Structure formats: C-alpha cells, structure tokens
Amino acid sequence: MGYVGLPLARLFATKYDVVGFDIAHQRIKSLQKGEDGTLEISKDQLQKVMKQKNDRKIGLFCSAQLDDLTDCTIYIVTVPTPVDEKNIPVLEPLYSASRSVGTYLKPKDIVIYESTVFPGATEECCVPILEAVSGLTYNKDFFVGYSPERINPGDKTHTVEKIVKVTSGSTTEMARVIDELYKSVITAGTHLAPSIKVAEAAKVIENSQRDINIAFVNELAKIFNKLDIDTHAVLEAAGTKWNFLPFTPGLVGGHCIGVDPYYLAQKAQEVGHHPEIILAGRRMNDSMGSYVAGEVVKLMLSKEILVRNANVLVLGLTFKENCPDVRNSKVIDLIGNLKEYGMGVEVWDPLADRHQVKSLYDLEIYYKVPVTRYDAIVLAVGHEEFKMLDLKKIKKDNAVVYDVKGFLGDKADKRL
C-alpha cells in the first residue's frame, strides 16, 4: 500500500471489492484513519472508498493480516524492487510477496505483477514460488499477468487512471481478461502486449531511457561549466526545435530511474552482453553528488569563504520535487561529499518524513525554516514551498547560493 499500490487499490475500489494488504502495521493504521503519508491520495478520496471488512460489496478494506486474503481471486503485487549497495537487484520483496500469495492461491485465481523487474523475472522467478507454495500448476490451475506500474509520485495531473496501462497475460485468453480488468478503471486506455516478457522489457527501458537522457545533459552541464556557458540557457535555446527532448541536469535517484537500469544491465550480462551505454549513464548520474559539492566549494573559494567548518544548508532531501519519498535520494551523496570537505551540513525539507530519514540515513532534518544564517545554501530539490523562501534572512552577506535544479532564478549565484 505504497506509492503504487494505494492509488491502484483506491481506483479499483470504486468498482470492486478490494483488500489493500501491507506488512507495515502502522501504514495500515494510518490508512484506516484516512491518512496517506505518501500524499498521493487525499483524505476525501480515501474516505469515499474505505470500508469495514464486511461493510458493502465494493470498496477498499486495508489490512495487515494475511488471512484477509482468503477470499481474493485476483492478486496484484506492487512491492518495491530495489538494488543493494553493489547495485545488484534485490528480489526478496517479490519472493516474499509471491510466497504470501501462494499460500492463499486457489484454482482459477490470477496473479498480476506490477513491480519493475528484468525481462523474464515473472515467469522464471515468481511462478515457481507460486507453484511450490500453492501446489497448483501454472496455466492449468492458476494464471499470471504483468502490468508495469507507471505511477509518477507527486504528480497530481498524470494520475494512475490517466496513464495508458500496458497489460499482458500468461495465455491469450488470460491476457484479454487482465486487459479488460484494467480497462474497466483506466480512462486513458490500455495497451495489450503480446507477452509478459515484452511488458517487462517495456517497463524497464522506460526509466533506463530517461536515465540515459538525463546523463547526457549532466555531461553537457559539466562541459558547459568549463566553457563558462549557462547550461539551462543552452537547453532553452535548443528546446525551440520541435523534436528536441526537454531534459534538465540534476541528481538522479529514486526507486525507479536510479534503479531500473541495473535490472536491465544484469539481465544483459547474464546473456553475454555488456551494456555500455546503460551503465555509462548510471556512472555519470551517480557522480553528480560529488560534482555539485566540488562546484559549491569552488564558488565559496571564489568569494574567499573558509570551507572548513563552514555552515551549509541543503534545501530538499526527497528524490524529486513535491514528493515525500526519500528512498535512494542522491541528495545524500551531495551531503556526504560536502561533509568530506569539513563543512557542517544542515537539511531543510518540509515534505520528507523525519522518521524515515532517521531510519534510512541516520540524519536529522528541519521541517520549518531554519533561523541560522549560512555560509552556503544549496537547493537540491525544487519543492513549491521553496519558491516563497526569503534567502536573505538565512544567508550571510557573503554567502553563496548554488541551484542544482535551476529553480531559484536570479536568486542563485550559480546553477548546475
């Protein structure tokens, strides 16, 4: 019941009887109160579909009890698929969810996976678990589908029902059944892929393509900085051509763009191909935290600001703007590199969950505007709340302001 599962469950609950299951008991308690910490679904939207277990035929019942899955006939798996510290795909959440579903799987049931995986993972990794736990036979007793999630966290325009849904199934007949299921709630329509592997591959290349394109403009930013050219001005000029792709430089993290290329890369290596472009893009984007920290230090030195023991404020910690999700945020890399220069770093993010930040990164953050005056301010994430910020109140007279996102306009001394 996270960024992907909750919006989908709420949407299905407008027409079907839905159980929203999550192993996080506190998350379920919050949802039962109509509170969504991800900020994807409003309290009003939740209250319209929420129901008690046996309240009415359609609606959403949220639970952390596995036994509440007993009567389900269609299971949709939306667990995260991260990578480890060596960027190796971690499929244990997917395996665990498959074991849970397999326990309750009955003849004629359907299991649909939405989590991002490498091509072949659904049938090669998940189906054997379903068979082993349930004792049922694939494509005889139960069926499987894959419909990749396309949620864009924090985006209130491109919500789940307004994004075309790619669907697929393990048999021709089941593919049509699954396609009709999604078509019944997705107003943007669906695209029925010819196989599960095609649908898996389509998903993993979507974010890999974005990652490579952003890596390209990040490299441009490094080049143009050496040439003393404003990268954003270059991109604005080039963008006047109808077919120029509008990507901007920045820190590329999160649980999709910063992760999915590694899933494709691993599968490519398994079949004997070394993915040069994909991994080169990842290396470029992974280097940006160190690069930005170095640029901030150069800017400080140009103003004769002592770097060691300088007080720096980083604006934003989440992996993207107007979203509370801090998983795999590359702002952490930036903070770590600034600290390596001997600077004291403080972080203000009005959206990030301080408990999650403490748990994931052992870091304390500000929720409100700090009262300290800083030697340097680095805008890392373009939250709307930062637009009204009066930088003069929190920076020293000779302080530097570095804008990673090109968000602050002429308030910044320099932008990436």
330 part of a folded domain: yes
Question: 175 and 34 in one domain?
Answer: yes
Give the span between the Cα atoms of 345 and 114, in whole angstroms.
38
256 catalytically annotated: yes
211 part of a folded domain: no
Exposure of 286 in the CB half-sphere (CA atoms within 13 A): 14
Q: What are phi and psi of 294, to 5 degrees?
A: -65, -40
388 part of a folded domain: yes
Please list, in sequence order, all residues whose beta carbon lies within 8 angstroms of the beta carbon of residue 286, skipping any fewer than 6 positions away. 330, 333
* Domain CATH for 386: 3.40.50.720
Q: Which two three-digit tokens encode residue 5?
A: 């599962």
pLDDT of residue 256: 81
234 part of a folded domain: no
70 part of a folded domain: yes
Question: 300 and 189 in one domain?
Answer: no
Q: What is the pLDDT along the chain (416 residues), one digit of tens a residue?
A: 999 999 999 999 999 999 999 999 999 999 998 899 888 999 999 999 988 877 768 999 999 999 999 999 999 999 999 999 899 999 999 999 999 999 999 999 999 999 999 999 999 999 999 999 999 999 999 999 999 999 888 888 899 999 999 999 999 999 999 999 999 999 999 999 999 999 999 999 999 999 999 999 999 999 999 999 999 999 999 999 999 999 999 999 877 888 899 999 999 999 999 999 999 999 999 999 999 999 999 999 999 999 999 999 999 999 999 989 998 899 999 999 999 999 999 999 999 988 889 999 999 998 888 888 999 999 999 999 998 889 999 999 999 999 999 999 889 999 99
Please list, in sequence order, all residues whose beta carbon lies within 8 angstroms of the beta carbon of residue 288, skipping any fewer than 6 positions away. 218, 249, 250, 251, 252, 330, 333, 334
Domain extent, residue 351, equals: 287-415
258 part of a folded domain: no
pLDDT of residue 152: 84
Q: Which of 62, 126, 256, 323 is catalytic?
A: 256
Considering 176, 203, 230, which residue would you say is the last residue of a domain? 203
58 CB burial (10 A radius; 0-12, 13-18, 19+): middle
Considering 181, 203, 225, which residue would you say is the last residue of a domain? 203
pLDDT of residue 127: 98
Considering 203, 224, 239, which residue would you say is the last residue of a domain? 203
Question: 16 and 111 in one domain?
Answer: yes
370 part of a folded domain: yes
269 part of a folded domain: no
The secondary structure element, H or E, covering residue 74 is strand 74-77
pLDDT of residue 376: 97
Give the span between the Cα atoms of 97 and 4, in whole angstroms.
15
Give the span between the Cα atoms of 143 and 127, in whole angstroms.
9
Give the span between the Cα atoms of 95 and 142, in whole angstroms.
17
pLDDT of residue 53: 79
